[in-house]
Amino acid sequence: MIRVSKQPFGNLPDGRAVSAFTLRNDAGMSVTLLDYGGILQSILVPTAAGPVDVVLGYPRLTGYLTGRGHLGALIGRNANRLSDAVIEIDGKRYPLTANEGKKQLHGGLEGFDKKLFAAAKIPCGVALTYHSADGEEGYPGALTLTARYTLDEAGALTIDYRATADRDTVINLTNHSYFNLNGGGDATGHRLRIDASAYTPIDPDLLPTGEILPVEGTPFDFRAFHTVGERLGAPDPQLLLAGGYDHNFVLDKAPGALAEAAVLIGDKSGITLTCSTSCPGVQLYTANSMDPNAEPGKNGWTHRNREAVCLETQYFPDANRRHNFPSTIVRAGEEYHESTVYAFSAD
């Protein structure tokens, strides 16, 4: 039986209360999420040596309010980067707020990761709802999003996203959890497999070039297991541009099908994370630029580079400007519906 409890988690500067919801199954796994930013604050996975918290995060709300990096957050209205902070729909251009030079990253200055959601308990989890006004961060259309977080007895956490808008708009949602399956320390020894035969290379601005290239013969070939750090130091121009992995992988699956995308294994804990998604891509990010000025994380840890692996299920970066990429345009009245499953097990 999945139990759901609610606890206070501080107040926003304007006085609004933030709550934490904890989902627990009978096997001893628990997931704590916030109604602020849809943040996954903690995921405790039971092991023979005791529970391991497998996501980076902060013990207090202030860490999320002041820290960079979008730790654990729901990202929208558009995940990843958009060139020139502009989208185009049917020939009409919509200027967006820029928050990374001339680009927009992860939805703008105040994306969904900085919003307080309405929360309701549902069977096996919590539903978070947010109403985004027409013109928020420059996006057309009043949008309603509901993200349902549910846990099962087998250790699978599902995030199910549904959104509609009253005007044609762009939607691309993801979760930005930083996974460390050992519970802390260097994550480059984690073993990783990604079910992708191609990836989208980047330019010096970390934007896609528009190409879709094979991973064969490159450090981006994770079709068989490799440790995350095995090829990080390779003199590959793409790795040098990003300071590590910060790239979108083109998943080998049918469009729209919920299918396995990646498997990550903790080298010390033996915990396995299997990530499945209905999205066409997954961004591998190796925590290349953690915030040196952030508050200490849980257990007093300072978050350092290479201490986590992000698997951001998504549509491709800058897809609105790259017409050979799957489209992120959602028409008025149509439903955006994507799901991602993070399933955990331990040896």
Residues annotated as catalytic (active site), given as ranges: 176, 312
Instruction: Give 223's contacts (C-beta < 8 A, 6+ positions apart).
Output: 193, 194, 195, 196, 197, 215
Could you tell me the end-to-end alpha-carbon distance of the chain, in angstroms, rounded to an integer? 23
User: What amino acid is encoded at 103 in this protein?
Assistant: K
Cα 315 to Cα 326: distance, rounded to the nearest angstrom: 7
Residues ≥6 apart with Cβ < 8 Å to 212:
198, 199, 200, 250, 324
Element (H, E) at 43: strand 40-45
Residue 303 is given by DSSP the state P
| 251, 255, 259, 263 alpha-carbon torsion, rounded to 10° | 10
Which residues on adjacent β-strands are paired with residue 78? 172
DSSP, res 205: T
Query: Whose CA is closest to 154, among 276, 308, 298?
Result: 276
The sign of the torsion formed by the CA atoms of 204, 207, 213, 218 equals positive
DSSP 230-247: TTTTS--HHHHHHTS-EE
Which tokens is 19 given? 């709550």
Map tokens 């250790």 to a residue.
155
The enclosing H or E element of 262 equals strand 259-265
147 three-class SS: strand
In angstroms, rounded to a whole number, what is the distance separating the alpha carbons of residues 40 and 131?
Answer: 20
